[in-house]
Structure 1
């Protein structure tokens, strides 16, 4: 059965270490957003804030949403360290994204990086995120590729948390969206002292004006 971790789980996990993630923005966000005109951005599952801070430093007005209040407090500290101008462009919001409503037609960029949710929750969440993109705006969704379900570095994830780009593309009305990227780029990660080749799933779509 798929497991969904609650806010208490994530608060405890973030409290267990001074840093869970690398502190660097996700590379697919950087490559997908680097040429976009800054506007309003939504960062879903913002973790320790690296993506939101990178976006704010690039001129975006960012709403960053996460389950964990501990993560959000840490993120706010990181943003303050990046400078008052960066911190002022980020709004930190605690929410359970499995039933959270972001609103419709609001954001020029919606980014969801590695949301490890079962399909029963992930599919409606992604539909709500797509609906929140403004005309001319971008939806950027990144996750673990289906091909990685049996790899040692991904073995602790439930099989239902992996998905294919085609699933996202099929959910987008072709009359309303242009799909700019549907790729499975590879990279190398280190897990328990060993290098592993993995693949991500990256979908970047733009809502038509």
Structure 2
């Protein structure tokens, strides 16, 4: 299925309500950083963008889905931070942003349809300013309600980093690891899941 069509259908079936909380990894690694310009790849319903804006960041939030953009914009309005977020609907496979950012974040930028995640994050890494943070999180275990097969094997953290094809001489590795967190599934299921976290700071 065409990626735009897939994600439009996904969000059209979903409620506009969100958790109201940022991604745990984003909060963990960004809370103590000096705010600046941030680029979010795959903003969904906007909770991460709203949290960043509330903490002083000027956010460019990208998503392929117009419906998701509408949900995220309404989220920003409810939280009084609309003027701090630029919502930018685009397909990162064919249309890429420009600029320089103190933070580039890609939280669970994964898809069951054709999607060149590694090359997109590689390209996004070039927009990280000296001293800035590249933060990419992916699933390290199958979460509840996932479209993945229950026995799917995910890359180990070092393999996930290698797959991004970065020149590691340009980066300080803050975290390349699997982190556990407690999560609730779409039907109220509770349990521990594993996140594969890559946090890199560009050398000045």
TM-score of the superposed pair, with normalisation by structure 2: 0.86
Shift of 1:11: 1.9
CA distance 1:115–1:74, change in 2 (3 Å): same
Shift of 1:62: 0.4
Could you list the runs of 5+ residues in structure 1 that have no partner in the other structure? none
CA distance in 1, matches of 2:40, 2:12: 21
CA distance 1:160–1:197, change in 2 (3 Å): closer
Shift of 1:152: 7.0
Task: Find the residue that maps to 2:116 and give its secondary structure.
Answer: helix
Could you list the runs of 5+ residues in structure 2 that have no partner in the other structure? none
User: For 1:165, which of 147, 157, 171 is the aligned residue?
Assistant: 157
* Cα RMSD after superposing both structures: 2.5
**What's the CA shift string for 1:131-183, capped at 9, x where partnerless?**
111111100000101xx2xx572662278894432135333323210010112
Task: Pick the structure with more helix per residue.
Answer: 1
Which residue is equivalent to 1:195?
190
CA distance 1:160–1:102, change in 2 (3 Å): farther
For the pair 1:175 / 2:172, whether they are aligned, the reply is: no
CA distance 1:57–1:190, change in 2 (3 Å): closer
CA distance 1:116–1:160, change in 2 (3 Å): farther
Which residue is equivalent to 2:42?
45
CA distance in 1, matches of 2:28, 2:152: 27
CA distance in 2, matches of 1:131, 1:160: 31
Count of aligned pairs between the two proteins: 199
For the pair 1:112 / 2:103, whether they are aligned, the reply is: no
CA distance in 2, matches of 1:152, 1:143: 11
Which residue is equivalent to 2:132?
137
8 Å contact kept, 2:93–2:115 = no
CA distance in 2, matches of 1:102, 1:163: 28
For the pair 1:96 / 2:88, whether they are aligned, the reply is: no
Shift of 1:37: 0.7
8 Å contact kept, 2:138–2:196 = yes
TM-score of the superposed pair, with normalisation by structure 1: 0.84
Task: Find the residue that maps to 2:144 and give its secondary structure.
Answer: helix
**What's the CA shift string for 1:92-128, capped at 9, x where partnerless?**
0001122332336x11100000011479711211111
For the pair 1:71 / 2:38, whether they are aligned, the reply is: no
